[in-house]
A and B are shown apart, each in its own frame.
Chain A
Amino acid sequence: MQPVLKVEALSKQFQLYEQGKLIPSCADVHLEVQAGALTALIGPTGAGKSSVLKCIHRTYLPTSGRMLYRDRDNHVTDLALASEHRILELRHSDIGFVTQFLHCLPRKAALDVVAEPLLARGEGAGGARERAAELLALLNVPERLWGVPPATFSGGEKQRVNLARGLIARPRLLLLDEPTASLDPATTGRVVDLIERIKAEGVAMLAIFHQPELVNRLADRVVELTPPVAATELLETCTS
C-alpha cells in the first residue's frame, strides 16, 4: 500500500540574522506513514522531532527535502512546495496537528474551541457541539469546564481540550506532539484507547511520545532521529 506521507531527506536550518547564526534543527530525515498505522519519532532532545512535525504542518519552512502527501484522490502533493492556499486546504480537511500547547481563541468556551474544526467545515452547530461534548467526556474533562474558556485550565486540561480539537475532525493524517505529556495515568490510558480507535478507523499518524512504553504499545514503525551536526562543525568539516 502506498504511504499517506513519505518524507525524503528533510532538513531544516534556522538562519538567525540578528545573531548571525545558522542553526540546524533536523537533517536528512526519511520516514513513511501508512494509513491506519502510527509512526513514532524517537531520539534525544535536540534531535529535531518537533521540527519535523512543524515542517510537515508547514509552520516551519523546510530547508531541503520532500514531503509527499497522498490525498483521497491519490494525488500527491509535496508539502514543502505546495502553495499556502493548498496547505490551508489540507489543514482544513486532511491534516491535523495536536501540539503540547493550546493555541486558541482566548475568550471562547472549551466546547466551542473543540467544535470549531467541524463548524469551519460547515457542519451544524448542534451536531458539532454534541460531538465535542462526547470527546471531552471521553477524555475526562469535567463538564463544569465545558462552558469556560480554556485559558484558565491546568496544563493537563488544556492538553485534553487540544486533543479533542485535533481528533474531532477525523483528519487523514494526524501529527501528535507529546499528546500525553502532562496527563495522569488514567487519562493517558483513555488517550491511548482513543488513538487505537482512530488508528483502526484508518487515520495515519506521526507521533512523538514522552514515554517509551507508549511507543512500544502504539507504534507500527519507529524512526530514530539523531541531533544534526552543528552548523559550525559543518563548516569546519567542509573547509578541512
Chain B
Amino acid sequence: MNPGYELPQNEAGYSFGFLDEYAKREVRRTVLKAICIPGYQTPYASREMPMGRGFGTGGLQVTLSLVGPGDTVKVIDQGADDSVNAVNLRKFIELTCPHVDTTEHTRDATLIQSRHRVPEMPLTEAQVLVLQVPYPDPLVVVEPSEARRKTMHGEGDYSRLLTKLYEDIVQFDEITISHRYPTRINGHYVIDPSPIPRYDVPQLHQNRALILLGAGREKKIYAVPPYSQADPLAFDDVPFRTEDFTDEYGRRRACARCGAIDSFLDELIDDDGARIWQCSDSDYCNERLAAAGKQEVARA
C-alpha cells in the first residue's frame, strides 16, 4: 500500500472502517449470535476485502465492524507487532478508520486482532480479542461432508475426533496436535481455536475478555464469550498438556532477551549458529526489558 496515498474522506465510496454500514451490521449481528451460542460456527456473508483470502480477512472484517472512534487497536502476527501481516493490517485500519488509535502495547488496546497467538499479558473485561482463522471446523479431519459435520456438532458427537486422539496415543504415545487443538466450549461445541499453540489454549478458559474468531474464506464467525468454560479434548488418564520448554537439565528455558521463564518461546538461530529461545510475544518481552531498565535506573 502506498503510504503517501490518502483515502478520500468524504466520498460515498468509502465509509468509516472500509466496509459499508450494512456489511458491518451484518457482521455485528453474526457476532451477537456467535456470543449467544458459544463455540457455534455462525455463517456470515464475508465480503471481499482489498487483500487476498488467507491474509486475515475474517479477523479484519470483525475488527472493522466493531471498531469505533475512541478505540485503540493492536494487531499482532505470531506475537509480533512488526511482522509484515501485522504491519499491513494495522496500516489498513489506520487508513480506513480515522480517529482510531493503534498501539503495540497489549495493556493500552481495547481491540486486539491476532494471528496465531493470545497475548501473554492477561486480558481485561474491557478488551476484545479477534483471532484470524484459516479452518474453522475441527471435524473436517474426520468427516468430509459439511452436512454431516453440522449434525455431529449439533448432537455434540465428537467421538471420531476423540478416536483420532486415541490413534495418536497408540502410534506416538502422545497427542501430536501442536496447533489448532480441538477445544470444547461450555460443554458442547468443539472449536478449532485457530492456529494458536497448545500453550495458549488454557488462556481461552475463563478469560475476562471477549474472544471472537473470524474465518474469511470459510465465512464463519464463532465466539468464546468472557468467562467461558474451555476444555481441550483429552482422556482422563492422558491429560492435555502444553508445550514443554524445559532444557536437557530439566530447567525451564528462559527468554534470551528478557529472561522470562513464563512465556511462550520461539526457537531461533543466532549469528553464531547457536540455538536460542526468545519470547514470541514481542510486547511482553519489551515491557519486561523496559521494567528491568527502570529498575536499573532506580538502583543507579
Q: Do chains A and B touch in the complex (CB under 8 A)?
A: no
